[in-house]
Amino acid sequence: MIRKLLIIIIAYSLCSQGRTMAQEIIQNELGFNLPDGRTQYSLPFEVVNNLIIVKVVLNNTLPLKFIVDTGVRTSILTDKTFSDILNISYSRKITIPGAGGEKLVDAYIAPNIRLDIEGVVGNGHAILVLEEDLLQLKNFLGKNVQGILGFELFSRFIVDINYQNRVMTLYEPDAFARKKLEGRRKYLTLPITVEDTKPYCYADLVYRNGKRFKAKFMIDTGATHAILLDVNSSEEVDIPEPSIESHLGRGLAGDINGKIARLKKVDFDQFHFDEVICTFPEKEFYLQGYEKVYRNGTLGGEILSRFRVIFNFMDGYLYLKKNRRYRDSFDYNMSGVIVKAEGLYLNTFKILEVRRNSTADMADVKAGDVILRINNNASHSLKLNEINGIFNSKENKVIRLELLREGQVLQRKFKLERII
């Protein structure tokens, strides 16, 4: 099973001075409606790195792709180029600050935007438009993704996410209440709270030394990891050993670094996961002080994608049913290599980082190298998720790379190794 690069989308824009902006957006008329007066409607989605990606048409003109994310308050367009193409007007400009108050990026509020999702029409939305594409979603996902859909979708519908079949069904709340949930006995009903527009639940964590801790998690469909923990959120949270330092992903402040370790168990209600990979971002990248709601971390797509998940924000429930991925093991980056996609067609693959003392590092693979071939496959014929899949396929698998470094073509060979 493929385990890929964590991408953390930190919506600094909706915190601090952005909170006023968020309230302004939420107070706008939100107009998602199902087509033809239907009470339920199904639409397809893609799954990339455990993220849910849907087709969105902006202002009835421009087809784009957005991540469906329970972790943000409002929809975000990550590249201002697209709103400029449509000559969209902005009601005001804000500056998104970093931890020390320094400017991260300017952003704009675009009111009265139409967002159509595969036949679901959304009129009268206000979205946040980043002046500069600092998240670089397309480069880290290897797919052209231009935005994020947030709370507006989950506040309007009961949302049924079938990761296995890659179908999302939206229900009118009253219609869902009248409908018998198919195979209901196979679903677990998990109470959640919706605080400051985001869903939260509790899970029991067990460390290798036997320590137990009940942690509060934000349920985040916009994060690829299984579990993320903030060591500053509680004295109970620490980083178990062994651990490794690694590049974790990207936020508005840039690349996110931290540590990766395993928890012995993660339990919520009757669901139990063993040897779960957990990420621990460095303090400066995980800004708990920006959040209104206390939490210990986030529960992301690497766990959510093992279920059929139904979000019921209105009544405060999450319905979960196991799918065929439920018992898959948790693994992390056996190559030590992190790759990003570049170029017009996102088929130029540059190595962003090589983990120190990994087998790739020992084989003289370096950051900045461009992959020309991997195991006799020309890289331009592959997608980023396929390359990541090869790098994380099986322990002791031999990887042969043809690399371009400063105009010179090099051959390198190493084995995949599970080091955690």
Q: What DSSP string runs through 192-224?
A: -EEETTEEEEEEEEE-TTS-EEEEEEEE-TT--
Residue 175, token pair as written in the block: 């219609």
Interacting residues of 360 by C-beta distance below 8 A, sequence separation 6+: 335, 336, 337, 354, 399, 412, 414
CB atoms within 10 A of CB 36: 7
* CA dist 257 → 281, 284, 317, 352, 416 (Å): 6, 10, 33, 13, 22
Query: pLDDT value at position 74?
Result: 87
- Pairwise CA distance, residues 52 & 284, whole Å: 27
Report the chain (420 residues): mean pLDDT per 10 consecutive residues: 39 42 44 90 96 97 96 92 94 78 82 94 94 90 94 95 97 80 72 96 95 96 95 93 87 82 94 96 58 89 97 95 95 92 95 94 97 95 93 92 97 93
- Pairwise CA distance, residues 42 & 47, whole Å: 16
What CATH fold (topology level) applies to the domain 12-174?
A: Cathepsin D, subunit A; domain 1 (2.40.70)
Query: pLDDT value at position 23?
Result: 46
The CATH code that applies to domain 181-322 is 2.40.70.10
DSSP state of 186: G
CATH topology match: 12-174 vs 181-322 = yes
Query: pLDDT value at position 98?
Result: 61
| pTM of the model as a whole | 0.90
Partners of 339 in beta bridges: 351
Task: List the domain boundaries for the chain.
Answer: 12-174, 181-322, 337-415
Of the candidate CATH numbers 2.60.40.290, 3.90.550.10, 1.10.10.410, 2.30.42.10, the domain formed by 337-415 belongs to 2.30.42.10
Query: pLDDT value at position 246?
Result: 86
**Measuring CA to CA, which residue among 152, 164, 94 is closest to residue 324?**
164
